[in-house]
Chain A
Amino acid sequence: MLTKRIIPCLDIRDGRTVKGVNFENIRDAGDPVELGALYASQGADELVFLDITATNEKRKTLSELVNRIARHINIPFTVGGGIGSIEDVNVLLQNGADKISVNTAAFRNPQLVSDLAGEFGSQCVVLAIDARQEDDGEWYVYLNGGRIKTDTRCEDWARQGVDRGAGEILLTSMNHDGAKSGFALDITRRLADALSVPVIASGGGGTMRHFVDVFNEGHADAALAASIFHFKEIGIPELKRYLQENQIAVRI
């Protein structure tokens, strides 16, 4: 049967992982390819590389990195961060990325989602949404890495994105991100139940139990996390064994 996916996320700046930490079993944890290959060998189901480079050299550095990742890593990977045009995406896919994720640029110009799905197919278009629950209880879309609030409800934008051809939704709860107190179960479940495409939950995973909850109660199709894997607070093999013991279908 189809399994739930565990997805480590690597932040990249100038071709290097940002949260470079001490892994004794690889030579260079700052090298996204080495760290990605380690996660792949440990049973990660996919990888996400999020580029936060702000310089003009960004595009070339990133496409070279994507090419190296595609060459060395034998599981699917998504590339995101500042993608704003068909040409950006074409370069990344040509270099071997399986999927790309769009966020702020897609919100500013929703036609971008339609254009990308039409040109390359929905299967490679991941719509990333950063959402925050406000005092009124509603979840709103935030842009520019969470710095700019919008008045659009998360569910409305997610639905529009899917209607325009997004093949997956990557939902990050800003309320939960970094807190390690569990994923945002209610909004994840609302999106997962309402949408016809898979939902990847992100933000808040701190214990193995949190992953069980986001699959069982949040109805997520996949769960993404960064620092708990980078700082070895949770190992992917032990996480997958724990999920299996809790009757969740995972690839082991």
Chain B
Amino acid sequence: MSEETEKPTPETTEKSVAKQEEVIELPALEKGLSEKLTSKFGEKTSIAFVKENRVRVDVKKEDVHDVAEFIRDEMNFDHVESVTGVDFPDDKEIEVVYHIGSYTDNSLANQVLTLATRAPREDIPIPGKDGTRLPTLRDIFYSVEFHEREVFEMLGVYFDGHPDNRRLLLPEDWADLPPLRKDFAIKGR
């Protein structure tokens, strides 16, 4: 669970976007992205890592909406590629990770900004009616619609404000635990 360990942002070097340099020197573009976020939100965001083409930001669930809006409006990211829910039963939290990319800005084409937030986890989940809730990002990134529906059914994270919080992949009469939680065990394993 490396997401918890905050790395201080490393040193800056100049780098062209299309070609990569030596791996040790962290590229400037990614560093610029992370600095843009920290300068705007300060303590609210924590940069988990800055790697080549990948920047990861951890935020609290109260701030995720504002940060996402800033990412879309000021940083030219325009679509969410993937929304992943990761269950951490030891921390009593469920992490939801948005991988955000950009089609419009050519310099950001190879970048994936990872926005992670955490929702409280309940041991006996009642999907949609318990405290495992997050604000939806659908009004910011339209493309999260089906991804968030999938996270809701697979991990029981209810997205407040999502217009269509229905089951997507699972059958309508699924009454067991949300299957991607760690305490849902596969038979025989």
On whether the two chains bind one another, the answer is no
Residues of A within 8 A of B (CB): none
